[in-house]
Structure 1
Amino acid sequence: MTIQGKNQRVQISLDLSPELYETLKNLAQQLDGDMAEVLLKGIVLMQVAVEAKQNGKHLWITDEKKTLETEIVGI
């Protein structure tokens, strides 16, 4: 992909439930961004999780003391 290609965008249409739309809108507000940014960050996070799983790794949420609080499964 060329540098010019990285700046191009493709528009898509999504059918979302009202609840998911509200979640997306609330996340955008919390990030001081827009819904496209939320979707982009979600996709990047999913990519990290899938690549980790393919490499035999796990995705965890820890507290400030690095104590395991949650393991993300089902990806």
Structure 2
Amino acid sequence: MTVELKNQRIQINLDLSPELYETLNNLAQQINGDNAEVLLKAIALLEVAVEAKQKGKYIWIADDNQNLETEIIGI
């Protein structure tokens, strides 16, 4: 893929509920980014989760001591 194609952007419009829009804005503030960055990171995280599931792996949240606290399901 050429550099020109990698830098190309496509604009989309989204219809979001007020609650989801507020969540998007709050996340953007928390990561010191913008709404597009939140969506890009969310898609990247979902991609990792889907690939893991396809390989028979699981996604977990661990605490500082590596104790498993939460399994991410439904992906």
Amino acid at match of 2:4: Q
SS in 1 for 2:74: coil
User: Identical aligned pairs, as a percentage?
Assistant: 71
SS of match in other structure, 1:70: strand
The residue identity in structure 2 corresponding to 1:15 is D
Q: Per-residue CA shift, 1:42-69, capped at 9, x if unaligned?
A: 0000000000000000000000111011
State how far apart, in whole Å, the 2-side matches of 1:4 and 1:20 are: 33
TM-score (norm: length of structure 2): 0.97
**Is there any run of 5+ residues in structure 2 with no aligned partner, and where?**
none
Instruction: Report the counterpart of residue 58 of structure 1 in structure 2.
Output: 58
1:2 deviates by 1.5
Match of 2:24 in 1: 24
1:6 equivalent in structure 2: 6
Alignment gaps of 5+ in structure 1: none
2:41 is matched with which residue? 41
Aligned residues: 75
* 2:43 corresponds to 1:74: no
Q: Which residue of 1 aligns with 2:15?
A: 15
- Please identify runs of 4+ aligned residues in structure 1 that moved more than 2 A: none
- What letter corresponds to residue 31 of structure 1 in structure 2? I
* Paired letter, 1:65: N
